[in-house]
Structure 1
Amino acid sequence: MIRTAVPAEAEAVAALHLRARSTYYPDGVPPSDRDWRDVWRDVIERPDGHVLCAVEHGGIVGVASFRTPDGAPADLVKLFQFHIDPDHWRRGLGTALHTACVEEWRADGMRTAVLDVHVDNTRARAFYTRQGWIPDPENPPADGDHHEYLRYSVHGNHGPGNGTS
C-alpha cells in the first residue's frame, strides 16, 4: 500500500532513510549533527510538501518526498528523497512508489520534475534511467560539489511513468 506519511512516523522514516543511505556511502554515512527524526517530522508537516510511503505488513519500506522548491516555477516539482529499504529491493516497490509520485505530480499539474542523485549511487541512477529520467545538461553539478550529485529532469508527458525518455 502507498499512502501519505504522518508525523508520528518520522522515526520510522528516518531509520529507513539511514539504512538506504548506508548502501551508497562505501565508507559509511558522513557524520551529521542533524536529528533526522526532527528533519523528517518537519518535512512531513510542511504544508507545501508531500511525503508518500510504501507500507508492507504494517511497516514503512519505502519513502518519497517532493515539493516545488522556493523560487521555482509553479509547475516544477523536485523529488528530494526517494528510498526503499535495502531488504526490499528488486520487488517492484520502488517502481510502485515512483508511479504513485508521478500520478500525484500529473494530478497537481506539474510539467517538470527534477532530482539530484549521488554520482556513486549507480543503483539509483540505473533505477531512475529505467523510469525514464534523463540527465539535465543545463544544470550540471557545481564544480567542487563535495556530494557530486547529478541532476536528472523530465519534462511534460515524456519521462517518468510512461517508458519514454
Structure 2
Amino acid sequence: MDRVTEQELSVWRLFIQTHSKIIEKIEGDLAEEKRVPLSTYDVLIELFEAPGRKLRLGDLTKKVVLTKSGLTRLVDRMEKEGLLKREKSEEDKRGAYAVLTEAGETELRRAWPVYAKGIKTYFAKPLEEADLQALNKALEVLRQTVED
C-alpha cells in the first residue's frame, strides 16, 4: 500500500474541513431565511435539470450526495411536503420516478438566491480568478479519476 505523505494528508483534511464549514454556513443561511435544506435543494435541482423534470429513483441516487436509504427517507418527506411526486414506470412496473411538482420548483427558486449568495460569499469571493481556475482544474482531474 502506498504511504500518504504529510502534505497529501494535510491537503485532504483541509479540503474536508473547508467543504464542511462552507456547507454548514450555507445550511445556516438557508435555515435563517426559512428555505429548504441543501439536501432537499440537491434533489430539487437534479429533478429541475432532468428531461421532463423527472428521474428514476435509482438514477437520482447516483446524482445526489446521500445514501440510498437516506434518499428514500428524503423522497418520502419531500413527497409528503408536495415538493415531488412518485410516478410508476411504464417500462418497469417495479421502478418509479421522482417528478418535480410546481411547489418543488417554487421552493427551488426561493432557495436559489440564498444558495447563490453563499457560494459567492464563502467560496468564490475570497479566491482570485487564477485560484478558481487552478481549483477547477484540480477538481476536474480528481472527478475524472473517481468517476464510474
Query: TM-score higher than 0.5 here?
Result: no
So what's the TM-score if we normalise by structure 2? 0.29
- Normalized against structure 1, the TM-score is what? 0.27
User: Higher RCO, 1 or 2 (CA under 8 Å, sep at least 6)?
Assistant: 2
When Rg is computed on C-alpha atoms for both structures, the one with the higher figure is 2
